[in-house]
Chains A and B, each alone.
Chain A
């Protein structure tokens, strides 16, 4: 602020000097190059004050301003002269004609601004001209344009009374009508009113008056052919010395002084009040204010610019930030939209109890178009009743209420499509604040598959459990069944042996049949127990290392009696040692079953048991020379309770469980039983087992 004031002061001073250059200039050149002779100095001293008349109403050349002070270009020159002549001159303003007469009568010593004319030379001695003012034609703007005197032919020209121009027109352009007025102002007024067509006269005066009186419809047009008015000072004709002194003084006025005077008056020619203090105060104040405003506006502009720059920067940053944020928002929105749209669950927005938005999955799930969902109520896609027997609408409203007050609700829901089909869903219902609005977000997952899978799983578990129960039941029942068989077999054995007394042959034979049947029943029961155990997953293995050859020999011994009775041959083709690691009892059970089958089904024939190791597998095969098995029957061999009847073969008792159980056991031991047969030639059943048990396949 301090800085601002200083700047303003400097600026004001500078403006002042610009406006008043003559002040400085005149002061410095006051006494330069005026050299008066002694006679001239004496003359001046004797005649001081020398009275000089000027016109009081010919602005801007000479006039008296509203304060009664003489002013004008002429006065400017007078003051310059007076300074050079040491203030020996006094000024006497009066109308031209009055002053003219006074000089003629020696009542005034000289007259300013007089144009030398032959008729005036009788009374005046003229100095050299100090000013030349051209003459112009003034016409109305809307009227014809008068470029020279010729254009004024037959026109009326307004002229000032007593002025030389009247003589000029009368002598040179008699066709021009002349109207005389008391002053230049009156004459111009007459043109303005249309009383005259044009005015011709001093340009400076005309311009001054037009602008001062604001005679808007007038304009300067052409120039008069006469030479410009040369203004001189006319001294009384008996004082030639005065003319000499004035000429010297005029010459002493430097070119710059002249320019200053002219510029000053021409510049303010239509402002007769220019010299007044109020005027300058106003001007200075105005200028000051203008400058101040200018400066302030400059500062303001600059600060504004800075502010604008700052704001622009801020805005640019903000715009780029917003752009970035927008892009992020867009990307984010895209991301969430994609999430929303590609989610494999139906996602719905609910307002009150109506759907307002949903993803694509919803449409697939509900089997409808978007417009069928949007605006629809929650229960439009639900059957009247839920599986628990409650009304869908009532239950839905309760869930919505809970979701709004107690947090997310997670429940199963029966939905129905518009086509009436229904599906089980899992609904996750939660409160969602979107802007100021409270909505509900529902994520609906179709759990039909899951439910089906769960049901299947449940059924499977049930079936397995039932199966296990059945097997357990059979196992325990079989145990109970076996207890009385123990007595039957035991006591028939005692009787057959004759331990309780001698029996005849028929009695022995019949009791033998009882014993055989009891044994068969026992085998049946044992097999059932084993099958049940296997199915109840209760079979336990006892893995140990043993010599399989010994086992096979033991088996042969077991069947010795039966073989001898039937007259069959059993040959062994085994190495001495066949060490394997497995469950001996189970292997024995399998092989015995195969041998028993061979004895039972081949009729009379030969049986060979072969055993050997191939790589890491042991193979035990039971070959018979029996009826063989028809190819189409081979696949049925290992089925539970399946009995095969071969043509020509006598029917035998059987459980239908033997091979099924043997195969099961072989698999439990990590092996398998393979059957080969040639019809009417015999069969080969081979057990293939790992040399070392490492887990079963069942």
Chain B
């Protein structure tokens, strides 16, 4: 069973992603803040990380950077979940160390195939 770490502060989004992933037999690890995300990413070593960008405290970019600094061994795919379809965001996201990105809103129909590209 693949393990996915979701770093998301919005409860409903967390629930939505958790529901879809659980429905498709993924083990979900939840982190509501960036700091928690970094901690769990190192401790739990998930197969994939879904990273919200707009977070309280340290944002998604910073969280990704810290994970990349501290992780040992192979790179874990980090998929940014961007809420605003901004051109500049894509570059920023990739520059911060993300592997890919999925734009909000999440469409349950296309969400799983998108994720599976990175697993």
Contacts and interface: CB of A to CB of B under 8 A. Distances in A.
Interface residues of B, number: 21
A540 interface: yes
Query: By DSSP majority rule, is chain A's interface helix, strand, loop, or mixed?
Result: helix
Contacts of B23: 499
B13 interface: yes
Interface in B65-119: 83-88, 90-91, 104-109
A540 B13 CA distance: 28
B61 to A, nearest CB: 16
A541 B87 contact: yes
Given A486-B105, A494-B16, A479 B84 contact: yes
Contacts of A273: none
Contacts of B10: 483
B105 A494 contact: no
Contacts of B20: 494, 499
B19 interface: yes
A490 B109 contact: no
A489 B107 contact: yes
B8 to A, nearest CB: 11
Nearest to B107: A493
A239 to B, nearest CB: 172
Contacts of B106: 486, 489-490, 493
A482 B104 contact: yes
Nearest to A479: B84
Given A493-B107, A493-B109, A499-B19, A486 B86 contact: no
Interface string B1-43: 0000000001011001001100100000000000000000000
Interface in A501-539: 522, 526, 529, 533, 539
A583 interface: yes
A555 to B, nearest CB: 16
B83 A540 contact: no
Nearest to A492: B108
Nearest to B84: A479
A166 interface: no
A526 B88 contact: no
A499 B111 CA distance: 13
A482 B105 CA distance: 8
B83 A490 contact: no
B100 to A, nearest CB: 15
B86 A497 contact: no
Contacts of B84: 479, 482, 529
B19 to A, nearest CB: 6
Contacts of A493: 106-109
A485 interface: yes
A188 to B, nearest CB: 149
A59 to B, nearest CB: 149
B108 A497 contact: yes
A246 to B, nearest CB: 162
Given A493-B107, A497-B108, A499-B23, A487 B13 contact: yes
Given A540-B87, A542-B91, A487 B109 contact: no
Contacts of A491: 16
A529 B89 CA distance: 14
A542 B19 contact: no
Contacts of B16: 486-487, 490-491, 494
B108 A490 contact: yes
Nearest to A585: B87
B109 A497 contact: yes
B88 A487 contact: no
Contact of A486 (B85, B87, B104, B109): B104
A541 B87 CA distance: 7
B110 to A, nearest CB: 9
B113 to A, nearest CB: 13
A487 B83 contact: no
B90 A485 contact: no
A541 B86 CA distance: 10
A24 B54 CA distance: 151
Contacts of A500: 19
3 closest Cβ pairs, A-B complex: A493-B108, A486-B105, A489-B105
6 contacts: A479-B83, A482-B83, A483-B83, A490-B13, A499-B108, A522-B105
Given A485-B105, A533-B86, 5 more contacts: A482-B104, A483-B83, A486-B104, A490-B16, A540-B86
